[in-house]
Structure 1
C-alpha cells in the first residue's frame, strides 16, 4: 500500500506561442507524502509552488511538455529547492524559446520509472501536442497525469507549431486508452476525467479532427 497522495494547485498566467498570447489557468500536481514530493509541471508561480512543497524534499520537477505555461517557473523552483528539472529531449527546442540560457537537468524517456514516497510513476512518451510530450502513470494511485495530451472531452490542441493531430491520436490510443478504465486522468488544465470516460469518444475525436 502506498503512502503517497496527490495534491493539486492551480496557478494562473499566460501561454505564448506563434505570436499569440492567452490567459490560462494551469494545474500543478504534487505527488508524495509528508517527507518528499515530486512536482508535475511548475507553472507560472514559483512562490506558490514552493509554499505548497513546504519543508518537504522535492525530488524532481517533471515537465509533461515544454510550452511556456508548463515550464515557466521550473528554473526558479529548481533554484529554490535544488531539485532537478526533467524533460523529454524532443521538447528541447520548445524549452529554449522560454529558457534559452538554462537547460533541463535530466531526460525523460518512455518506460522510465520515477519514484517518490514509495510510489512509482511510469513515463509514457505521448507526442502530438508537442514532440516530447509525456504522461506519468501511477498505477498504485490509480492515476495518470496527462499534461495537455488528454483532457475531459478530448485530445489536447494540435493547431500550433510542433503539434500534429494524427500523432496525438496514436499516442492516446496506444498509451492511454490501454490503461485500466477506472484510471483517473489528472490534466494540465481543467477538470479530471477517467480513461473509461474518454475511451468511447475516440472515433468521434477522429471524425471531428480537432
Structure 2
C-alpha cells in the first residue's frame, strides 16, 4: 500500500527585502498510519504536530527557505526528535543564505538533485528547480502521480521572481526542462493556492515568457 497525501493550510506572514505580507501556506504530509514526511513547516507548529499525531516524523523537507515555508521547521523537527533519533530538516544547500535570514546558524541536512526520500514504501524524488530561490526544489512522487512544487509552479504560472535571490529566466528553465518533462496527468500540489496539473500548465509557457513574469 502506498503513502497517502494529507493537506493543511496555515496562515501567517512572509517577509523579505524589508516588506511583509499576509499569506496562507499549504502544508503537505505524505505517509501512512505509521510514518510521515512533512513538506514545509510555515506558521503553526501545533497544528502540524496535531495532524501528525502519534506517527513517526521521518523528516521535514523544505521546498525552499523563505520564512513562510520554514519558520517552524526546526521546532517541528525538535518536537518529534528523541534521544535516539534526530528528525532532520532537509534543505538544498544553495538555499543556505536564505535559510540564515530566518534561522542563522541552525543546522540543516543537505538535499541533492536526484535524491530519493522514502516514506511508507513510497519514493519522493528531489528535483532541483531553482529560480524562485537558488535552492528551490520540487518533490516528485511517481507512484502518487503527484509533484510538490513549492513556489516554483502555481496554477496559472511560475512563482514570483521580483525579490532577492530570484531569477525569472532560471525559473522558466526549471519549469520547462524539469517539471514539464513529467507526465501531463501529474497533479501539482503547490506552496500556496489551488492544485493544477502539468498538462494544464504546459501549454502556457510561451505566454509566461512573453509577459516576462
**Cα deviation 1:122-146 (Å, max 9, x = unaligned):** 0000000000000000000000000
Work out the number of aligned pairs and report it. Answer: 208
Query: Partner of 1:13 in structure 2?
Result: 12
Match of 1:177, SS state, is: helix
- From 171, 174, 177, the counterpart of 2:177: 174
> What does residue range 1-210 of structure 1 map to in structure 2 within 5 Å?
2-82=1-81, 83-104=87-108, 106-210=109-213
Give the TM-score taking structure 2 as reference length.
Answer: 0.97
Q: Which stretches in structure 1 are left out of the alignment for 5+ residues?
A: none
Structure 1 residue 101 displacement after superposition: 3.4
CA distance in 2, matches of 1:39, 1:74: 9
CA distance in 1, matches of 2:173, 2:3: 31
Any conservation in 1 of the 2:127–2:140 contact (CA below 8 Å)?
yes
RMSD (Å), alpha carbons = 0.6
CA distance in 2, matches of 1:4, 1:134: 20
- Deviating above 4 A after TM superposition, structure 1's stretches of 4 or more consecutive aligned residues are none
**Cα deviation 1:37-79 (Å, max 9, x = unaligned):** 0000011111101000000000000000000000000011011
CA distance in 2, matches of 1:57, 1:102: 22
Q: Which stretches in structure 2 are left out of the alignment for 5+ residues?
A: 82-86
Any conservation in 1 of the 2:150–2:190 contact (CA below 8 Å)?
yes
